[in-house]
Amino acid sequence: MKKKYDLIVLLQSYPNLIHAINYIIDNKEKKILILINGDLNIYKFLIKLFDQANIEVKIYGNNIFITSGILSRLLPLYVVYLNKVIPKLYCNELLLTFGNWCNVGALFVDKINSNNVTNLIAYEEKKYLIKSSETDKLPLFIKIINYYTKNLVERKKYFYEEKGNLKFIKSDSYGLVKQENINKTIHAKREREYKKLKNLVNFNNEQFILHIEKNILKSNAISFVNFIRLNISIFRMGKKNGVPIYIKFKPRDKYFFRKYFYKLFGFKIAPSHFPAQLFAIQDKCIFIIGFSSSSMAENYNKPVYCFGSIKNLFNPSVYGNINSLRERSYGNKSCIFLKSSLDLENLT
């Protein structure tokens, strides 16, 4: 007998996670399957969040085959394996939380038979002009995906404007071909809705400063010497305010050594599998600092300070990231771009 759900929510990354959770809460009386494409951090978060009989949370695969340079060589075999283990599924409505930036996620789409499809487009895609690209050859693992899914995946090019010039992201990007069966499209807003989610985070009863961390050393945005200088300034700022600084790593980052580096400064570590926004909205959070994370563009009714704009610390190559944050935070007066290390140290 076929098992049918009222709603299947298909997830593979964080940008649309808050919007998707609110969608699930609004439909919490229905029979729901939350289906996760390989992200163990999202799975870890959601199995604690949705502990009720009518809502199932399942995960297939492991994103380590996508993110690891060595294991990515096994992608063709990984695709064959995933296609075997993902079952055929049936639902009245499918909430599709991706379309672009999609590769193995197409296998999940192909396995779901739905009466209605709702497409949730992430706010972060707003800045891009996305076009299909037919000139470059597809790698073997994409060809295998297309064999199973009858050509659901195509190569994409992401164009964006910077200082009046049209540029594009040079890395390989893939996404679903145009879907003809979309019944409804939701364009996610920059400002997420947190009323139903605020109490999910209760990891301390003290005031704190949230540092939304990014691996700026790996991206060569900063020299090691300036990285030390930056963290000394952050340490001084925390001491001046008399409150701890909580480091929030990106869930997919490999941060083992950086975690202990930050602990040497006395910084505390926030759970990485929680979305950063859930820490930022807490009443105990005084303000937020960071380099250029997309979560910094939101209005939390408290200051969000960008230190990536401090020119004597960072390499000129970062200016594109900072300009992108300026565009995404346009109209949000809470997002403030610092000019000097002294500005950072004197934050209160």
- List the 285-290 sheet strands across, edge first: 268-269, 245-248, 208-212, 285-290, 304-306, 335-337
Q: Answer whether residue 192 shows pLDDT above 70.
A: yes
Mean pLDDT of the chain: 90
Among 130, 35, 16, 138, residue whose Cα is nearest residue 82: 35
Any idea what the Cα angle at residue 301 is, between residues 299 and 305, rounded to 5°? 70
CA-based torsion, 98, 24, 285, 298: positive or negative: positive
Is a pLDDT exceeding 90 seen at residue 46?
Answer: yes
DSSP character at residue 283? T
Bridge-based pairing of strands 304-306 and 335-337 is parallel
Give dist(CA 184, CA 56) in Å, integer.
24
**Quick one: pLDDT band at residue 36, thresholds 50, 70, 90?**
very high
Across 297-309, b (16+ Cβ under 10 Å) vs e yields bbebeeebbbbbb
pLDDT band for position 317 (cuts 50, 70, 90): confident
CATH of domain 199-345: 3.40.50.2000
Per-residue confidence (pLDDT) for residue 204, from 0 to 100: 67
Q: Please tell me the predicted confidence (pLDDT) of residue 135.
A: 64
H or E element that contains 270: none
CA 81 centroid distance within chain? 26
Q: Per mean pLDDT, which range of 84-88, 154-158, 239-243 is the poorest?
A: 154-158
Neighbour count for residue 111 (Cβ, 10 Å)? 19
As given in the structure block, the two tokens for residue 55 are 């809502």
Count of other CB atoms within 10 angstroms of residue 202:
9
What confidence score (pLDDT) does residue 199 get?
A: 77
Task: Kindly give the residue spans of alpha helices, DSSP state H, lying in the chain.
Answer: 17-26, 40-49, 64-67, 75-85, 105-111, 140-149, 224-241, 256-264, 276-280, 319-328, 341-345
Range with lowest mean pLDDT among 149-158, 237-246, 284-293: 149-158
Q: Is the pLDDT of residue 342 over 90?
A: yes
pLDDT score, position 178 = 84
Cα 286 versus chain centre, distance? 23
For the segment 329-339, what is each residue's pLDDT rounded down to a tens digit? 888 889 999 99
Is pLDDT above 80 for 64?
Answer: yes
Q: Indicate the domain borders of the chain.
A: 4-187, 199-345
Nearest to 78 by CA among 134, 140, 135, 24: 140
Distance CA 160, CA 139 (A): 25
Residue 124 banded pLDDT, cuts 50, 70, 90? confident
- Cα 257 from Cα 287, distance rounded (Å): 26
Q: Give the angle 192-196-200 at the CA atoms, nearest 5°.
A: 100
Letter for the amino acid at 172?
D
Other CB atoms within 10 Å distance of the CB of residue 112 = 20
Q: Are 100 and 176 in contact (CB under 8 A)?
A: yes
pLDDT tier, 1 (very low <50, low <70, confident <90, very high otherwise): low
What is the rounded (10 degree) CA torsion for 219, 225, 231, 232? -170
Q: What is the pLDDT of residue 123?
A: 85
